[in-house]
Chains A and B, each alone.
Chain A
Amino acid sequence: MGEFILKRLFLSIFILFFVMFIVYALMYSLPTSYVESMARELATKPGSTKSAAEWLVELNAQYGFDRGIVGGYLQWIKTALAGDFGDSWNWSVPVVEEFNKTIWYSFILSFIAFILEMAIAIPAGIIAARKQYSLTDYTVTVFSLIGISLPTFFTATILKLIFSVKLGWFDIGGMQSRNYITLSNFGKFLDLASHYVLPALTLTLVSIGSLMRFTRTNMLEVLNSDYIRTARAKGLSESRVINHHAFRNTLIPLITILGGSLPGLFSGSLITETLFSFRGIGYASYYSMITGDIPFTMFYLMFVSILTLLGNLISDILYAVVDPRVRVH
């Protein structure tokens, strides 16, 4: 087991190296005029103490644009390994500072959506599988397919129309109401919480479908397996067959998948956060990307890649941990 994890870890580092190289090459290939305009823009920003030419030299040196792709990339790795990701161009603070500021908002948002998703999708999927071809099953199947088919932006716009514009229950975006400052501490908490509702709902709606389908398919597979037939044949009650024999086995792929998606909770949600002006990591990185903020973008892409690799690693390990048969083979 230890050897397996170690091997996978090395493989992940290898993959990360090349993924970041591709991302770096892409960033490098953006025409220099882009960096130049960036330098000009930075020089005119309030609080900037450097001229455009100085910025250009600094940017080129900082990102090794004067050393070619490979040399620049190796330099980026060197500074990144030392924990130095530079200053964000768009947010005018060190990259790590902006990251610390936003990451927890994103995590809480994703976590709420994750819990909601599990609480709704897993029971619905199991019920649908138990009553295959019933009305319930069709309803769940159709709903999950609709959920998969809903574009995030359309869902978000519809929710905004209903809950913000028509009903006026929540703000259309942002993190605070206008009267935030005047509120008591508890009021501030409630106000912040109310700004989580629509983004969390959007995230849940667009991701619930696939989990529902996944649960249903796996439960069906389990219900069709021989040991369930055996359990039924020996006269166990249906509830015991489902809850004891079938459900536990359905959990194997579920835990693998859900465990693998745990790191993803930190990666923020680009589209949803942007649409609701939710000041999480997704929002920050979206604006960094469209303004060509190379330091923050590089950092964010590295972060996301690490999370993806970590997710794969976790699901592989969990697969082995949860299902003893895998370990035997």
Chain B
Amino acid sequence: MNNKNLNEILKHREALEQKAKEEQNNSTNGPIALDDTQRVKVLSPGRLVAKRFFKNKLAIIGLAILVFMFLFSFIGPLFYPYSQTDIFYKYDYLTIDYASAAERTDAIAYALNSSADISSKIKNSLNSYINSMEKDGKAEVSLTDDDGSQYSIQKLGEKVYALFADQLTEVAKISPSVSIAKYNKFSKQFSWSSGTTVDEGLQKAIESAISSKASDFEYNGVSYLIKSESKNIYNIIRNTPEIEWSGENLGNEFISLAMKHQDETKFAFNGADYRVKVNGDSSISVSAIGGKTMVYVLSNLVFNIYDKAENISDDFKANALLAIYNSEKFSYNGKTYSVLKKGRKYEIYDESNTEIASLGNFVIKRYSGQDTLSFDFKEKAQQTIYEMLEKNQTSSKFLYSLPQMDLQGNYVLDKDGNTAYTDTEITVSKKNNQYVLTCEQVTYLIDIFGKPSSKHIFGTDGDGMDILARMMYGGRISLIVGFIVVFLEVIIGVILGGISGYFGGWADTLIMRIVDIFYCIPSLPILIIMGAFFDAIKMNPYERLAWLMVILGILGWAGVARLVRGQILSLREQEFMIAQEATGIKASRRIFRHLMPNIMPQLIVNATMGLGSVIILESTLSFLGLGVKHPLATWGTMINSVASSSENMIKYAYIWIPVGLLICLTVIAFNFVGDGLRDAFDPKMKQ
């Protein structure tokens, strides 16, 4: 009845099977037979692990965070315009201390055209005398110097004083005994003291006196002493005083009186007063004391000289000051000048009635101390201060045109190419006895701790560097350090652990003792010591980063070696290893093809978890300032730079908390992934 051949039957069956398959594909809920091959899905071990891994929610979260971190720190900088070392500047209006003004309290002495020399002791104490005069309300005070000179200070008017000194006329100069020459008897040579005129008669007289071994002799009415200094060397001393008369000869009586009074400095002779002064070369000057003359004009007033006026000498200033309380006019170098009082100040005009200087109470200087301000500025500032004093204000303002700057910090030029000026508001404020003049100027400065803005999303740090860029580069360094260190650990650990576990014997014993030693070495202290050492030799940051990774790797391999050895020891006992030995596979193939894949799961889990702890260690060291150094960015240093004081901790919380969270997130992600991998590789723990 069935006339179909076998071939057809097979074709029919195939078609049916195809149909069933399609049906099954269309409806997954379709009934499945007990012996259906579809029931058992055979997955490769790798896919099995992946499937288990992707079922784990925490692992997925971890993986997502890691992907984000990698994109953020490796891809992010490619698209972000700034690098980790870019320093940002800004132009900003900055209130600067432009100038300062202070009332001059000390009087300055202007010398009148006179040659009187006044000891520095008197000069230096003039101000204190003036102050005490003002305090006691005296109009005149007289003072005496150590050498008996008489001076007096007179108040000429408000803030103007004059110093008077005795007019001295020298009448005689007495030079007492003085060594005139040295004579060498052996070489018969004279060495004359400077200022002695060589006299051949005297020379002969000396020679004869010495040859007759006399101790003194007279020549031309002058007596000389001979003193033997050493063998053959004689000192010839003139014993009679030498007198130089400036005017008429007042006789020997005058001289002996002067010599007698040389310690008292003053004596009277024929009804006149004389002053005796012992000079530095032990000669004595005798001067007649005449009337008093004015030597200095002293004043607290400050000269403000018009920019284009010629240089004004002290003498001019002294004359001008005198004119204030005199005729209001004075002549100097043949020209007549007038001094007029205007409000609180005085103005000095020349013959053509143009103002050449003014006299005020305030010294106005640039804040840096230079006296480079213009006449106008000084006048205006002074005027403002006077107004402030009248109204009893502590701060005031005035306008003055200063060179204009644009927001880029360049001086603005007008169409002719000259510097443009703009009216700038200058604030005068009183600080103690000083007035500080401040104004706002555009200044070019490093944008330190810039607030978050559209240009810098997290703002800038204390060095004016973009925080977000440094976060990215910091992540790069943390991840690179983590991977390289773990790679080093795994390489060393697998090689040594593998040798130890596979070969056993003395190699095992030796390596395991080394592992024990490295296990016991306190790694954090060693890292701190090395950090301090690198600091001490000021190693460059890139070299230092490399060393840090090497040291971390060397300190961390022992755990990996132990793990690998343990794994190999337990695998060695298993049947498949015995089978390999029986089949005689090469050792290298046995290790890399059969042993390693069985160790890999543990190793991968260990390395993933290890990455997290290396990142923590690195950031901790950097936080302590002993790890990666500026200008390289790391998360640890970024936190340290802003969270060191309690004030900054609050102020810059928007910087250090996100950075800290980045560290935490990265480490958590590695732990999540490691945990997920462990569960995926080793399903025994799952029920």
Contacts and interface: CB of A to CB of B under 8 A. Distances in A.
Contacts of B649: 157, 160-161, 165
B46 interface: no
B628 to A, nearest CB: 15
Contacts of B10: none
Given A145-B668, A149-B616, A153-B623, A289 B520 contact: no
A30 B521 contact: no
Interface stretch (B215-223, B234-242, B656-664): B656-664
Contacts of A241: none
Interface in A7-41: 11, 14-16, 18-19, 22-23, 26-27, 30-31, 34, 37
A297 B537 contact: no
A157 B643 contact: yes
Nearest to B616: A151
A158 B640 CA distance: 13
A235 to B, nearest CB: 21
Interface residues on A, range: 35 or more
Contacts of A18: 513, 517
Contacts of B524: 270-271
A60 interface: no
Interface string A189-228: 0000000000000000000000000000100110010000
A289 B532 contact: yes
B639 interface: yes
A14 B513 contact: yes
Interface string B672-687: 1001000000001101
B285 interface: no
Contact of B650 (A23, A132, A151, A161): A161
Interface stretch (A49-57, A70-78, A105-113, A303-311): A303-311
A22 B528 CA distance: 15
A311 to B, nearest CB: 10
A264 B617 CA distance: 19
Given A19-B520, A270-B528, A289-B528, A152 B536 contact: no
B385 interface: no
A151 B664 contact: yes
A213 to B, nearest CB: 9
B493 interface: no
Contacts, number: 132
A285 interface: yes
A307 to B, nearest CB: 9
A172 B624 CA distance: 17
Contact of A19 (B521, B529, B531, B671): B521
B517 A290 contact: no
Contacts of B520: 15-16, 19, 305, 308-309
A34 B533 CA distance: 8
Contacts of B667: 148-151
B536 A172 contact: no
Interface in B520-567: 520-522, 524-526, 528-533, 535-537
Interface in A67-89: none
A315 interface: no
Interface in A270-322: 270-271, 274, 285-286, 289-292, 297, 300-301, 304-305, 308-309
14 contacts: A18-B513, A142-B58, A145-B671, A149-B612, A149-B667, A154-B639, A157-B656, A158-B660, A172-B646, A224-B685, A270-B528, A289-B525, A297-B529, A301-B522
Interface of A: 11, 14-16, 18-19, 22-23, 26-27, 30-31, 34, 37, 132, 138, 141-142, 145-146, 148-154, 157-158, 160-161, 164-166, 172, 217, 220-221, 224, 270-271, 274, 285-286, 289-292, 297, 300-301, 304-305, 308-309
Interface of B: 58, 513, 516-517, 519-522, 524-526, 528-533, 535-537, 612, 616, 619-620, 623-624, 626, 636, 639-640, 643, 646, 649-650, 653, 656-657, 660, 663-664, 667-668, 670-672, 675, 684-685, 687
Q: Which 4 A-B pairs have the closest CB atoms?
A: A149-B667, A154-B660, A149-B668, A290-B532
